Structure 1
Amino acid sequence: MDTTALEERIAHLIRVTDDLSDTVARQAREIDRLTARVEMLMMREAERESEGSGGIVLGDERPPHY
């Protein structure tokens, strides 16, 4: 393989590596954002449970006043 072909392959590999790095960084930010939202929702639900202000009636569950 000649020098030009090797330089082209290296340039391509560098570009692919940079693209993958950008993708991984973007996914890490999204995971961090989603993790924070899940933690916030879990805290909110824990507060609701500790206040006794109920859950959601699902399907054929009877509400607590029956």
Structure 2
Amino acid sequence: MDLGVRPAPAAVRRELSISLRLDSFSPSFDLRGHRRLVRAWQPERYPDVDVFLPVCGEPLSCTPG
């Protein structure tokens, strides 16, 4: 069993959990308004999204755009 791989996913889960709590339950976040906006959003064409992240130590400037 490789324990070297385990801490990263746990850290990511912890960070996402903290972010969710801070963003979702802040006084300025309106959950009902958010849900209404998501339900009503029907664009003629859904946008394509490509995300390029440097994962091998490259500088951020190597990403397009």
TM-score by length of 2: 0.42
TM-score by length of 1: 0.41
Query: Which has the larger share of helix?
Result: 1
Higher relative contact order (CA 8 A, sep 6+): 2
